[in-house]
Structure 1
């Protein structure tokens, strides 16, 4: 059967990065990792840590561009400018706490500082939005934890009706078999 490819966008939240004062190594790595897993890049942008701008961009990508998977990097800590979870929470219709919990749990096995991570994951329309840390290493580690489950979740989110048991629906490669 013909495979279905999911689109993705990477939204980097960085004041310095948006001004060209810092290279976006996290965003570059995430684009490479997701493309390597079979997902199709639909959008990439670096914007300042401004809650309203984050909300507007997420809505545009999901509502207008119909991007299947949006990953954000940055703005998930506790500094005064870290507003990504708040922006995401205002945009999503339903949260998917298991994704954020799995990422935090895996991070806690590596560093106690993971207790400060506030990233969330949630659904708007038929799109999934996941907040990742701004650190290149932490963003990679977090995405690698949930990447094997994403294709199945997107399949179900898009209305896939095949039974969950006994199949991975192409998990980890961004492609799905039609049921």
Structure 2
């Protein structure tokens, strides 16, 4: 009589392997924290956009194109139109083909912002968008942008601005044109 060997896995062996894989996948997801990775990616885009806005404002100031005070934000902007109908309210098409808008304005993502004035790193509800303030009398400007990632706490507190809730850039020494919102 010939013995027949059946090759394959039993149901219990398969369930054990699936269970181990599930535990490993859960551990990797907890370690990688994809939500924090997305927040960091949006913050990187915001910093690039602030650089673009700063270049535009530097050119506007250098060419004396701004004659009145300006205080705008991109909170409801969904278009990158560079004409005077864009969120900045100034025709900047000679400097850029499109205005940057906050990454959360492009989708339905609900953004948080980095914590309190003490920059505790906790996230709270709040919008994330760009603010631009220009003061005609002193010919100075300030651009403020909120950050989502808790890892940006040091950037918020070390930007020489007067707020620990925004990254601030501009031409004023104290970056104090905009009051803390």
TM over 0.5: no
Give the structure with the larger strand fraction. Answer: 1
- Identify the TM-score tier after normalising by the shorter chain: under 0.3
Structure showing greater relative contact order (alpha-carbon pairs closer than 8 Å, 6 or more residues apart): 1
Give the TM-score, by structure 1 length: 0.23
Give the structure with the larger helix fraction. Answer: 1
Give the TM-score, by structure 2 length: 0.23
* Bigger CA radius of gyration: 2
